[in-house]
Structure 1
Amino acid sequence: MRVQGEERHRGAWRHEAGAMLRLALPLILGNLAWSAIHATDLILVGRMGADSLAAAALGVNLYNAFLIFGMGLVMAASPMIASERGRRLHSVRDIRRTVRQTMWAAATICVPIWVVLWHGEAILLAMGQDPALSADAGRFLRALQWALFPFLLHLTLRNYISALEKPIWGVVVVVSTVAFNLLACWILIFGKFGAPALGLVGAGIGSTLSGFFMFFGMLAVVYGDRRFRRYHLFGRFWVPDWPRYRDVWKLGLPIAITLGLEVTVFNAAVFLMGLIDKPSLAAHAIAIQIAALSFMVPMGLAQAGTVRVGIGHGRRDPAMIARAGWTALAMGVGFMCATAILLIAAPRLLIGIFLDLGDPANAQVAALAVSFLAVAALFQIVDGAQVVGAGVLRGLQDTRVPMLFAAVGYWVIGIGVGTIMAFTLGFRGVGIWLGLASGLAAVAVLMVARWTQRERLGLVPHRIPPGAAMP
């Protein structure tokens, strides 16, 4: 009997690992493809010169601060849908309500963000950035900002099909967008096929067109596949549902603030680099893009962990919650160990994708990028741990305490240590990267400790809707 029990136990873990991989792999591919869209923009802009690359870095990082905040808000849909499926596998109405009101929330948040981004040049100047770079970045932002709303709508639909554990169509749409974005930006930046050469503004317009391409692609998916069509997501879409709208904000706002704190600490690093010199800023843009590509894998595992833990949460199944969370953490940390080795072993190979290493004018930027990647390799492991830790906690709808962890880790420790090391101790750009590593390490420890506490306690109490059947 004991042997049979141990075999069932191992079988349950193997089943969870398989389910996690089947869900995570398409999400990872989708994340890599989404990151490749921004990488494509930087590669094309980089061919215009270091100044254009630096201006694009300023604009993209200001835009991403708001984009990630919006992403966090609409990510509330994933644990809400997963938990509902755990309670009632064939639920339709509550899932439809969640998707609709998440889109309403996306529309709400976009309006003030557009107003702010329209004044991007003034914001960058107020932060002490170079006037010429700020002017170019401001023009770029006025073309790019309109990509926000279609992107958030696309992401809501992608979270919807992922929470239903059918994420592959989201990958197809995003991968198709990579090719579309490459073609659109190439034409608009350099003036191909008779189009005017718009430079940075062309890159912004191309990215906006890509946002609409993604949204309409996801619309085609949810209307074209009967598994998704049965939910009738857009029937009577205009009718308000204020209770569910409030639920989305209640769960999504702490996620948005957490992600916002994380991305803005990296954005702050960009602005601090701008205070050092242009080569440091350009090198940082390359190094952070390379680090972001590797980050897409644990991010996908975090998304899968949210769904799998969320289903266990809805079922009120502590064993499934524990298996799903620890499986996601083990996979995320294991992958980041491998990427750390790659960043140390072959940094120039990676940098050469973004910069012509044979051009003597790029030698200083390349050398700085190598030093930044050496530090990035050190925090790969803790970066994977913190993002997956946050993801599995979201599956338990535990979002407020992780928000406080992010505030302390990223801004008190990360920016504090980085600023002191860069400007007081004279480590310059490397000091900023060491500060980022310190902040990530602090958040990782706190997130995993929080998960360990929650997992040992079993289920986190959650509200069961009136009339809902217990499994």
Structure 2
Amino acid sequence: MKLTHTLQEKVRLFLVMMMPILVTQLGLYAMNFFDTTMSGQAGAEDLAGVAIGSSLWVPIYTGLSGVLLALTPILSQSIGAGRREDVPFSVQQGAYLSVVMSFVIIVIGAFVLNPILSLMSLEAEVERIAFHYLVGLGFGILPLFMHTALRCFIDSLGQTKVTMIITLLALPINIFFNYVLIFGAFGFPRLGGIGAGYASAITYWLIFFITIYYVVRVQPFAEYRIFTTFFKISFSKWKEILLLGLPIGFTIFFETSIFAAVTLLMSTFDTATIAAHQAAINFASFLYMLPLSMAFTLTIVVGYEVGAKRIKDAKQYSYLGMTIAIMMGLVAGLIIFVLREPVSRLYTVDPVVAMLIQHFLIYSIFFQLSDAIATPIQGILRGHKDVNIPFILALISFWFIGLPTGYILANYTEFGPFGYWIGLITGLAVGATALLWRLYVIQKRVERGQVVPS
């Protein structure tokens, strides 16, 4: 990060930082995207199994990663305030915490995965593929979360291009191992959708080792000497991270888990409907990386300016990011509308499933518009370390408004499975409106010199 003086300089710096984050997020999600699309070419059961597995894993991963994302505003504000000596200590504590989180999720998964899948009333083959896909992916949980902690350090320095390079290096490896393990190429066993889980685990380890190399060997990261001195575990620092990170994690979890909940509820429909629903969610989530990248960038730049007490600059970055995000949301909606038929063919060769995917994609256009408003605002508020009220707003809008609305429409009207999507759209729209109000309140408080409660 660096000081900017004009709007033109801010636009240039913002885009320079945002584009690598966007490419990184697209690359990371592309692994899940290729898991789903390549599994779909192996069969409808493989598509449904991997889609079910992904729908259970993504909320857990994004929610727990959200906890670690607290490191970004903590580090950004430390760097902006010139407290460089705080950085190695904070990064190490975040890494320690990521190890504990990984261990906890693996242990919990060992006990609850089978019962959860049994509750979904899936076809036996779909349940088997979903279970073993998640088992394979589980071998990569530890390096994935440790990479997330180190990525927060890299991004907080404004060096977002580095995480982009790491992801782009890993993506071809993921595609290669997907091909090898899903279809049984080069003498490897044909595992179908299950192979996608093991391919992802291999890729996560690769990303982690490359990230370690950059942090230790490459400037400007090496000058912080992150691993030169190892600090003892500091529960007070963990408390700081968790007090800021848990609301962030729960906010993200409530938004992403609502899709998993809908998938659970939709398990009463046939395999074709489940597969089409998850394929459409997968593609819509791929485009969601646009506003999510905006949010990550806004957290960095707003956190940096707030730490340096330049409130006017923080506000300018906020409106700049929101404007770009809304424009991208409109473009994403247009892409879905125009390309919905060829997109459906990426996921399946079954004409029935393809037609259902196209219907679901029409509804997903409205996701893009709401996310283009709500997600960047979440990033701005995190830059201010305002996380508790957004967490409550997410809980209410998604679980107390969106899900009940979808359940009623799906079960008591002619909308059927599409009723759940209307409910999701309703929850997202309510959440976006509430977050706009919260942003207005926080900016007024900051302008009056009041401390923002975290």
- TM tier, smaller: over 0.9
The 5 Å alignment of 1:277-356 reads 277-356=270-349
The 5 Å alignment of 1:45-124 reads 45-88=39-82, 91-118=83-110, 119-124=112-117
Give the drift of 1:80. 0.6
Candidates 409, 423, 426, aligned match of 1:421: 409
Aligned AA for 2:368?
A: Q
Q: 1:460 to 1:192 in 2, by over 3 A?
A: farther
Separation (CA, whole Å) in 1 of partners of 2:287 and 2:194: 28
**TM-score (normalised: structure 1):** 0.91
The 5 Å alignment of 1:451-470 reads 451-458=439-446, 461=451
Give the drift of 1:162. 1.0
Give the corresponding residue for 2:35: 41
Separation (CA, whole Å) in 1 of partners of 2:214 and 2:99: 21
Give the drift of 1:373. 0.9
Cα deviation 1:100-145 (Å, max 9, x = unaligned):
1111111121222112323423211124444432222112211111
Aligned Cα RMSD in Å? 1.7
Aligned AA for 1:365?
A: V
Q: Say if 1:63 and 1:145, in contact at 8 Å, map to a contact too.
A: no
Q: Say if 2:75 and 2:87, in contact at 8 Å, map to a contact too.
A: yes
SS at the partner of 2:264? helix
Instruction: Give the stretch that moved more between structures: 370-379 or 238-247.
Output: 238-247
Separation (CA, whole Å) in 1 of partners of 2:332 and 2:193: 31
Aligned AA for 1:314?
A: G
Aligned AA for 2:315?
A: A
Separation (CA, whole Å) in 2 of partners of 1:153 and 1:406: 27
1:200 aligns with 2:193: yes
Give the corresponding residue for 1:382: 370
Give the drift of 1:242. 2.4
Separation (CA, whole Å) in 1 of partners of 2:114 and 2:192: 17
Q: Say if 1:40 and 1:182, in contact at 8 Å, map to a contact too.
A: yes
Candidates 119, 122, 140, aligned match of 1:147: 140
1:402 aligns with 2:394: no
Candidates 396, 407, 411, aligned match of 2:399: 411
Q: Say if 1:23 and 1:165, in contact at 8 Å, map to a contact too.
A: yes
Aligned AA for 1:376?
A: S
Separation (CA, whole Å) in 1 of partners of 2:230 and 2:426: 45
Separation (CA, whole Å) in 2 of partners of 1:112 and 1:275: 31
SS at the partner of 2:140? helix
Give the corresponding residue for 2:424: 436
Separation (CA, whole Å) in 2 of partners of 1:122 and 1:43: 27
1:29 aligns with 2:17: no
Separation (CA, whole Å) in 2 of partners of 1:60 and 1:322: 37
Instruction: Give the stretch that moved more between structures: 174-183 or 224-233.
Output: 224-233
Give the drift of 1:254. 0.7
Q: 1:351 to 1:303 in 2, by over 3 A?
A: same
Percent identical residues: 25
The 5 Å alignment of 1:221-240 reads 221-237=214-230, 239-240=232-233
Give the drift of 1:270. 1.6
Separation (CA, whole Å) in 2 of partners of 1:317 and 1:92: 19
Q: Say if 1:105 and 1:249, in contact at 8 Å, map to a contact too.
A: no
1:448 aligns with 2:419: no
Cα deviation 1:48-74 (Å, max 9, x = unaligned):
111111011111111112111211011
Q: Say if 1:413 and 1:439, in contact at 8 Å, map to a contact too.
A: yes
Separation (CA, whole Å) in 1 of partners of 2:452 and 2:322: 23
Give the drift of 1:353. 2.0
Candidates 139, 163, 175, aligned match of 1:170: 163
Q: Say if 1:63 and 1:117, in contact at 8 Å, map to a contact too.
A: no
Cα deviation 1:13-33 (Å, max 9, x = unaligned):
222222211111100010011
Separation (CA, whole Å) in 2 of partners of 1:307 and 1:373: 32
Separation (CA, whole Å) in 2 of partners of 1:148 and 1:460: 40
Give the drift of 1:302. 0.6
Separation (CA, whole Å) in 1 of partners of 2:50 and 2:230: 37
Aligned AA for 2:362?
A: A
Q: 1:441 to 1:232 in 2, by over 3 A?
A: same
Q: Say if 1:114 and 1:146, in contact at 8 Å, map to a contact too.
A: no
Aligned AA for 1:283?
A: A
Q: 1:130 to 1:355 in 2, by over 3 A?
A: closer
Candidates 213, 220, 223, aligned match of 1:220: 213
Aligned AA for 2:17?
A: L
Separation (CA, whole Å) in 1 of partners of 2:84 and 2:234: 15
SS at the partner of 2:186? coil
Structure 2, unpaired ranges of 5+: none
SS at the partner of 2:431? helix
Q: Say if 2:42 and 2:182, in contact at 8 Å, map to a contact too.
A: no
Cα deviation 1:158-183 (Å, max 9, x = unaligned):
22111100111110111111100011
Separation (CA, whole Å) in 2 of partners of 1:128 and 1:198: 23
1:12 aligns with 2:6: yes
Give the drift of 1:11. 6.6
Give the drift of 1:432. 0.9
**Number of aligned residue pairs:** 447
Aligned AA for 2:203?
A: S
Give the corresponding residue for 1:359: none
Give the corresponding residue for 2:262: 269
Structure 1, unpaired ranges of 5+: 1-9, 357-361, 464-471
Instruction: Give the stretch that moved more between structures: 347-356 or 201-210.
Output: 347-356
Q: 1:61 to 1:237 in 2, by over 3 A?
A: farther
Give the corresponding residue for 1:6: none
Q: Say if 1:27 and 1:300, in contact at 8 Å, map to a contact too.
A: yes
Give the corresponding residue for 2:128: 135
Separation (CA, whole Å) in 2 of partners of 1:188 and 1:248: 38
Q: 1:103 to 1:11 in 2, by over 3 A?
A: closer
